[in-house]
């Protein structure tokens, strides 16, 4: 998906939209990470179960990257971007309606795999688009969107949970 012939304004809009997707995903992820231990305690999850549910997302985020990497070049970034958004959203939906540790663990696996895929796709798409928009600034903007979304999510979640 190298955009060598794309208009610079369009390329910049595509980067900004991608960064918005990353920010919103990080926003929801941060809120969930703040609320999840409290919810697990409310449903009487044991310490080991709490650790498994929380760490499942992080583990799957790391595991997804080598699995998905080859497919990005072979089948295209857009398909994997949509898949990542769907997996992350479905994981969040399962979290919202789960009252059992097993379902929360499944949600964490799904959401973590989706988030890892989303971040990998975002960096690959940024590399594709950055040739015109400025490579360093583009990667910095993508990274900044991830952290900004997380910080805002925590700023919303923590006071609400107190």
Which structure tokens are listed for 70? Answer: 């080859």
Answer for the pair 3, 11: CB distance below 8 angstroms, yes or no: yes
Q: What is the pLDDT of residue 36?
A: 94
Q: Which residues contact 139 (CB under 8 A, 6 or more apart)?
A: 123, 126, 127, 130
Tell me the backbone φ, ψ of residue 137, rounded to 5 degrees: -65, -35
Structural domain 8-161, CATH architecture: Up-down Bundle (1.20)
How many Å apart are CA 140 and CA 147, to the nearest integer? Answer: 11
Which structure tokens are listed for 54? Answer: 């929380």
Per-position pLDDT tens, the chain of length 162? 444 455 677 888 888 999 999 999 999 989 999 999 999 999 999 999 999 999 999 999 999 999 998 899 899 999 999 999 999 999 999 999 999 999 999 999 999 999 999 999 999 999 888 775 567 788 888 899 999 999 999 999 999 998
How many Å apart are CA 112 and CA 64, to the nearest integer? Answer: 8
Q: What is the pLDDT of residue 134?
A: 67
Domain ranges of the chain: 8-161
Q: What is the pLDDT of residue 92?
A: 92
Q: What is the pLDDT of residue 1?
A: 45
Q: What is the pLDDT of residue 70?
A: 87
Q: What is the pLDDT of residue 17?
A: 92
How many Å apart are CA 115 and CA 33, to the nearest integer? Answer: 13
Q: What is the pLDDT of residue 130?
A: 79
């Amino acid at each position: 998906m190298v955009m060598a012939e794309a208009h610079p304004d369009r390329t910049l809009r595509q980067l900004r939209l991608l960064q918005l997707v990353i920010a919103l995903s990080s926003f929801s992820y941060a809120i969930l990470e703040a609320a999840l231990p409290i919810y697990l305690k409310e449903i009487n999850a044991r310490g080991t179960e709490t650790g498994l549910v929380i760490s499942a997302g992080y583990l799957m985020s790391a595991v997804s990257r080598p699995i998905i990497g080859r497919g990005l070049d072979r089948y295209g970034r857009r398909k994997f971007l949509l898949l990542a958004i769907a997996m992350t959203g479905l994981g969040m939906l399962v979290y919202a309606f789960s009252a059992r540790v097993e379902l929360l663990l499944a949600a964490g696996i799904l959401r973590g795999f989706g988030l890892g895929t989303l971040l990998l796709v975002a960096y690959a798409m940024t590399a594709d688009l950055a040739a015109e928009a400025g490579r360093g600034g583009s990667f910095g903007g993508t990274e900044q969107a991830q952290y900004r979304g997380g910080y805002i999510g925590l700023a919303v979640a923590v006071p609400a949970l107190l």
